[in-house]
Chain A
């Protein structure tokens, strides 16, 4: 999807100089496999009185396909393994893995499948898709910002808000916010 972005960036290169201005049109197009080692999926949930619960998923997999001719036909899919949740507090992790939240034993995967990709700026896009967790599927939106592309490696910063109550994970509200803030760095290696 960033093919067109790069094209425009290249054209506009002498006015503004985006970091990827040097990237040629066809360079970003292609299929990428998300590399967990250089990616992260972090989340935070605000809590009453300030502060919040911060955590990350250690295990996930996914792919990014950037269409050469039509950005809208680009695709992002990823699967998170909630068993790998980590907050720095073992008791909190056990709680999150239990049937109080993820029920990781019975629902071992959280899946996102993009349904549309819309360019919103030189380096940004709105990715809409279907998120499935604990057997429930709802449309969700994420904002993706291109962080860089070099030698077959593409990097995105992805943010989005998800209402956990819809997925049967409303435990602890309103002490803990219903809104889960996702902050991901996804690095893809060209296949």
Chain B
């Protein structure tokens, strides 16, 4: 329990510590060494996660609960099983290597505090996603990864392209996140729980529900945006504006695998239907194909790796989509392989960028001699990516081919295996483009600097990763039993046994691999011509890319629309607001009155008698009110208002309310004097003549308000919904409070607090008035003395 909390909250705690200690860190010059201190955090997390492996292998999944919002079934709950262990190891292990790499990569000029703060925040959020056992907890951490990714992509925020990339990533993953939240809520309405481990046991209920398809679609939308699946992949290439350690960490090894993780996590609950295979498998295969097709075209090495990541993510997604036991095992193996070789390649690109001042293949080439160590790492990683024997990538590619041969719910035979081989040609081609163009053949132009190799500190992490890549190929059994098998078990729900080996005899996958290599070499030889054709196509048909939709439709289309909409509703015109408010008030009043089914009962209303005094007061009151609104002479208007007030007071007398009448008389007298005083200082009262249409609109709205209120009052006076509680006050007034004037007793005794707050309001108004009268303008001298009150 404590260990779990440490794993997830240590990175957050450390990032907060860095934030608050940063001024002090800079003072003692530790700011430069911050990376070493930060590296402790993933190290502790990694060892904590490793300590769970043994327990998980014996006991299966572990869960911990900490109550949070119990009423809504939301709690801080953690699930530790093979899948979360696998991802936990990737996050903290690669995290550790990336932090060490970044110590070399970031020069002392960079804002290291900011960098490590964001990086640790991401690490905590990502660990939170994979260990969460509650959908809401998971969603919260999920969004936190989007936010930290946004901050890291925009790390060099003075660059326009960085800001564009950061925004794009946030918009696309954010939209997916909202869809996912909706999907979670649908999932809750099916299962009645937010608990992931419970949901996973309810697969049959979920699959037979009528909400199955929308829930799966919405949740998968979240996964697809996060894991850069077609057509949402467009944010990932732009995310390469981030510093290279970030690209290696977030945008190849961990964050983009969050969607893969969630798909894998929920497969026991959702997989096993034709819809699942078509949606997840179909999107996965499409992404693999398109990613590869785009990758071979790139000359920027980082962009090449970005598209290759898209392609590889699509491949993993496809394997999860096939949904068989074997394909899930293959997915797990490839997750591990891809994380290792892709992170290594990103780090190599960082070294090339540092050493040559550019990472574009137009300027960079034949680096074998100048960068011998980087070359060795790139060699291992590229061949693994291409799926050549003795490396880990070969094993998982063979497994991928094997799993394409046995896919449920797909009618056309050979279709998927053919697409798989076709897509793998591109994988082969871009792997060799990276390796051969980068390290063997000469580039057309010269780089800005003469290339030089990175020091040991920069090479350490890529070398470690390359070693892992070799180990994954030569001794795959090293990881399979302890890490990969429990992970595959968690995805399918069936106990998995992996027999990983390089040689399985001559079988279908081997023949497919053979064709991949042969055709791949042919494609690579013709790569320049192919690229030329691709460039022509994209120049002629720019709308083929989803980027076109994002740039033209979203960035250029939506802001003017919202601006126009906003201008409409937030015009800044008081009258406009009043119109809207009044109209809404009238409509809601009418709607409530009519929906209650009240009808006017004129008989009883007409029967009540009326004295002459009452009738006369009413008529005079109406006259005075209308006069107040129509007089353009200010003295007449004030006197009419005063008359209205005095008539209301007289009305109180007739209604048996002498206290009210007394107060109203006093207040009205003071009001009139006050208004006259203010009018003395504010001479303008006349409006410029309003146009006829404005005047008509004003009159119409006023008339509507008047009619609706009359109607409403008629209905209110006709209905007696509840008994009055007056008799209590009439009885208790003398007994409990010793007063005979019941109104006064209510005010000072029964509702004494009301009166106290009324006095408070009055005092605040007085203070406000005093302040306004004494206030002096700062910039200009005051022209007139403030009038004394």
Q: Do A and B come from one complex?
A: no
Identify the A interface with B (CB < 8 A).
none
Identify the B interface with A (CB < 8 A).
none
